[in-house]
């Protein structure tokens, strides 16, 4: 009987990486030894290796529970490119193909089997696994088990059956996003009480965070893409299906290769658009949150929230789809009072008891506070997940273009007085008109030109007053009503009264709109994908290698990144190996990929030298 392969040997020969990162080695050793685990690791941090390598080390087949067909398909294809015998069982398979996979499972010819939770829970599947040697169970996207989370999947609640029916087989649950209550629920629901919890840093230092108040948002979006990400893949999230359609069409009309994606499109259109996003270079997907979870594309260079997400968890999860390959990427969040009003209305009109709604309101409050904060974005983000970053990151808008704070107490008193004197019924636009002394029909209709606050705010522009109202909402001094009209009301008396009496100062960020414009100035940005290639000849070779990779991918009808990641192409362009032996030192080029693609890339490298 041959000895079991060592994890480090598999890492090097199969996956082509020289060493483990962070806690990977400790996690893998624990699971190989038969231990249960909950693993929290940021997107792009190498979670998949934490179950793929133990599955290849332990006798039997690794079973991976995954919520999305697209994720299974991509991961299976990527593993097959590495020479790993992988397959997926899901509803997209025909009877013949599913039968072929089941026969391969019975014959012991599968190393890793990806299965949807609803398929796993069928009696026939559980019986098959009971008759087959199973190395481990991996439960991917484990936050889906949390009823309080942002991606709840009811079928995940039934996965405790794995503990009951297969008590001797190790289980590892993995997620990129879970605060402390969600972690506790994952452990409880999946019965991982005896397992170890591994929490790595939530930080994604390669992502540059920008947050900006909305001011002609379409132009902000277009400038962000054209100035820094022309020709690169990205995702733009919108709150509604109509906004998705409108924004995608508008971007396409301005020369951006944009496609819409939302649940209202037919399944065939969604599949076609997703296929183009995965397999073509430079496609921008404009989508609702129906798109994204399970997308394994590593070279998404930017994520834009054209509307506010509903929580910091959602924001972190969705921005984490950028830069999975570790290369520099960007996240832009555009926010406004109207967004918060819509989200609060959705919370109130949604399902769930009062406790659930209170929690969702608190999560939205935390997000609005994040938007209005003048502190380092990364510090605020990590603190939400219980992690401390000692120094400002130097890679967010608050660090790169720091906004000064002013004593905004007098401005706050004027704004709050306008809200009180108009009966807490009107939105920021009308209140702004009152403060700047505008002569509008609506002001005359309600007699608001006779109010003491009429015209008392001429020291600020309309844009500045609207931003003041946004910041007062973030400070909890104002709230947005939930009737869908966006009227502003006073916050709790104990918060508002000290400000009106002058007993508490209100700090306001100075001119964040101007800072946001500077954040996307062309002079401040480099094309991230090949930013480390300083020589023009290396950049030309990198682009040539990308074209070769795209041709090879199209021949096999697979996404280009399953051939090689951009990181590997950049390393090839910089080091220009002259032999397969030298090429084997490039991270991500394991034995199977060297055998399959080594010679063709060597030819391309030699031609690039000429």
Output the domain CATH number for residue 545. 1.10.150.80
Rg (CA), the chain: 26
Instruction: Count CB atoms within 10 A of the CB of residue 585.
Output: 12
The reply to whether 505 and 581 lie within a common domain is no
Examine residue 527 and state whether it is found in any structural domain, yes or no: no
Neighbours of 471 (CB within 10 A): 26
Query: How many angstroms separate the CA atoms of 323 and 44, rounded?
Result: 7
CATH assignment of the domain containing 257: 3.40.50.300
Tokens of 528: 């991230």
Q: What is the number of helices (H) and of strands (E) in the chain? A: 27, 17
- CA distances to 212, 240, 243 from 246, in Å: 21, 10, 5
CA angle 171, 174, 176 (to 5 degrees): 170
- 554, containing H or E segment: helix 536-556
Residue 485 lies inside a defined structural domain of this protein: yes
Question: Same domain, yes or no, for 387 and 440?
Answer: no
Do residue 363 and residue 467 come from a single domain? Answer: no
520 in any annotated domain:
no
User: How much of the chain is in helix, strand and coil states, percent to nearest 5?
Assistant: 50, 10, 40
* pLDDT means over runs of 10, the chain (610 residues): 80 92 94 95 86 96 87 86 91 80 92 92 91 94 74 83 93 85 88 92 91 90 93 94 96 95 91 90 90 78 94 89 91 87 82 79 83 87 86 92 87 95 90 94 93 94 86 80 67 92 88 45 46 81 92 91 91 92 90 93 81
Asked whether 172 and 37 are in contact (CB, 8 A), the reply is yes
Residue 302: the pLDDT is 96
Nearest to 404 by CA among 569, 515, 243, 506: 515
Residue 351 neighbours by CB distance under 10 Å: 6
Give the residue among 9, 371, 387 at the shortest CA–CA distance from 379: 387
Residue 92: C-alpha distances to residues 283, 427, 457, 605 (Å): 25, 48, 61, 40
Residues 365 and 448 occupy one common structural domain: no
Residues 409 and 394 in one domain: no
Instruction: Burial-class residue 287 by CB neighbours within 10 Å (0-12, 13-18, 19+).
Output: buried
Residues 6+ apart with CB under 8 A from 371: 211, 213, 308, 333, 335, 470, 474
The range of the structural domain enclosing residue 553 comes to 536-609
CB atoms within 10 A of CB 404: 10
As a dihedral over the C-alpha atoms of residue 286, residue 290, residue 295, residue 297, rounded to 10 degrees, the angle is 0
Same domain membership, residue 164 and residue 94: yes
DSSP label at residue 287 = E
Whether 524 is covered by a domain: the verdict is no
The DSSP output letter for 14 is I
Contacts of 323 (CB under 8 A, 6+ apart): 44, 204, 206, 207, 300, 301, 329, 528
| Last residue in a domain, options 400, 431, 464 | 400
237 Cβ contact partners less than 8 Å away, ≥ 6 residues apart: 287, 288, 289, 292, 303, 304, 305, 306, 307, 309, 318
Residue 491, in any domain of the structure = yes
Closest C-alpha to 508, from 417, 377, 406: 406
pTM, to two decimals? 0.78
Are both 131 and 181 inside the same structural domain? yes
Residue 516 lies in a domain: no
For residues 58, 63, 64, 69, the Cα torsion angle rounded to the nearest 10 degrees is 140
Domain contains 489: yes
Total of domains in the chain: 4
Any idea which residue has 């990364």 for tokens? 378
Cα angle: 345, vertex 351, 356; to 5 degrees:
85
Of the three residues 400, 435, 461, the one that is the final residue of a domain is 400
Residue 528 located in a structural domain: no
**CB-neighbour burial class of residue 514 (10 A; exposed 0-12, middle 13-18, buried 19+):** middle
The string of DSSP letters for 259-281 reads EEE-TTS-HHHHHHHHHHHHHST
Sheet holding 284-287, edge to edge: 207-213, 329-335, 302-305, 234-237, 284-287, 258-261
CA angle centred on 313, ends 508 and 466, rounded to 5°: 25
C-alpha 373/C-alpha 370 separation (Å) is 5
Do 183 and 67 share a structural domain? yes
pLDDT, position 511: 54
Mapped onto helix, strand or coil, the DSSP state of residue 304 is strand
Same structural domain for residues 393 and 424? Answer: no
Q: Quick one: 432 and 479 in the same domain? A: yes
CA atoms of 383 and 240, how far apart (whole Å): 30
Residue 386 and residue 286 share a domain: yes
Q: Are strands 488-490 and 478-480 parallel, antiparallel or unpaired?
A: antiparallel
**Domain check: are 31 and 58 in the same one?**
yes
């Amino acid at each position: 009987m041959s000895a079991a392969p060592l994890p480090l040997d598999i890492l090097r020969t199969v996956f082509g990486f020289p060493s483990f990162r962070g806690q990977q080695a400790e996690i893998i050793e624990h699971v190989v030894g038969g231990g249960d685990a909950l693993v929290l690791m940021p997107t792009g941090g190498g979670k998949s290796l934490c179950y793929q390598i133990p599955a290849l080390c332990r006798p039997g087949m690794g079973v991976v529970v995954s919520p999305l067909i697209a994720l299974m398909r991509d991961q299976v294809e990527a593993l097959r490119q590495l020479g790993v015998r992988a397959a997926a069982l899901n509803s997209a398979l025909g009877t013949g193909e599913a039968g072929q996979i089941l026969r391969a499972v019975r014959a012991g010819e599968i190393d890793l089997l990806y299965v949807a939770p609803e398929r796993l829970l069928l009696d026939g599947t559980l019986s098959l696994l009971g008759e087959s040697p199973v190395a481990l169970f991996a439960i991917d996207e484990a936050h889906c088990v949390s009823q309080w989370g942002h991606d709840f999947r009811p079928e995940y609640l039934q996965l405790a059956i794995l503990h009951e029916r297969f008590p001797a087989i190790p289980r590892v649950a993995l997620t990129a996003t879970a605060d402390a209550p969600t972690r506790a629920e994952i452990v409880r629901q999946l019965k991982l009480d005896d397992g170890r919890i591994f929490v790595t840093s939530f930080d994604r230092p390669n992502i540059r965070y920008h947050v900006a108040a909305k001011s002609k948002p379409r132009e902000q979006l277009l400038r962000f893409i054209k100035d820094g990400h022309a020709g690169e893949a990205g995702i733009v999230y919108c709150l509604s299906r109509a906004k998705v359609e409108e924004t995608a069409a508008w971007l396409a009309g301005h020369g951006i290769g944009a496609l819409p994606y939302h649940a209202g499109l037919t399944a065939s259109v969604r599949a076609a658009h997703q296929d183009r996003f995965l397999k073509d270079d430079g496609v921008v997907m404009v989508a609702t949150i129906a798109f994204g979870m399970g997308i394994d594309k590593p070279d998404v260079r930017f994520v834009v929230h054209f509307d506010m997400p509903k929580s910091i968890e959602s924001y972190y999860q969705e921005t984490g789809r950028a830069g999975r390959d570790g290369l520099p990427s960007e996240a832009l969040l555009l926010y406004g009072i109207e967004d918060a009003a819509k989200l609060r209305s959705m919370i109130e009109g949604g399902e769930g008891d009062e406790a659930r709604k209170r929690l969702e309101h608190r999560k939205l409050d935390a997000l609005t506070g994040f938007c209005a904060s003048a502190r380092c974005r990364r510090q605020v983000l990590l603190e939400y997940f219980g992690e401390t970053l000692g120094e400002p990151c130097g890679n967010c808008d608050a660090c790169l273009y720091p906004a000064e704070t002013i004593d905004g107490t007098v401005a706050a008193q004027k704004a709050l007085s306008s809200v009180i004197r108009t009966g807490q019924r009107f939105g920021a636009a009308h209140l702004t008109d009152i403060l700047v002394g505008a002569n509008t029909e609506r002001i005359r209709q309600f007699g608001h030109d006779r109010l003491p606050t009429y015209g008392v705010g001429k020291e600020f522009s309309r844009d500045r007053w609207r931003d003041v109202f946004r910041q007062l909402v973030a400070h909890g001094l104002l709230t947005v009503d939930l009737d869908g009209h966006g009227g502003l009301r006073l916050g709790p008396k104990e918060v508002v009264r000290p400000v009106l009496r002058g007993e508490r100062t209100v700090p306001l960020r100075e001119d964040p709109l101007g800072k946001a414009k500077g954040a996307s100035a062309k002079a401040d940005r480099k094309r991230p994908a090949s930013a480390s290639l300083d020589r023009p000849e290396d950049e030309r070779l990198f682009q040539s290698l990308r074209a070769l990779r795209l041709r090879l991918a199209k021949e096999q009808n697979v996404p280009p990144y399953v051939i090689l990641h951009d990181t590997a192409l950049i390393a090839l362009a910089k080091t220009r190996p002259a032999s397969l032996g030298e090429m084997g030192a490039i991270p991500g080029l394991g034995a199977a990929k060297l055998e399959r693609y080594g010679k063709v890339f060597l030819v391309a490298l030699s031609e690039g030298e000429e």
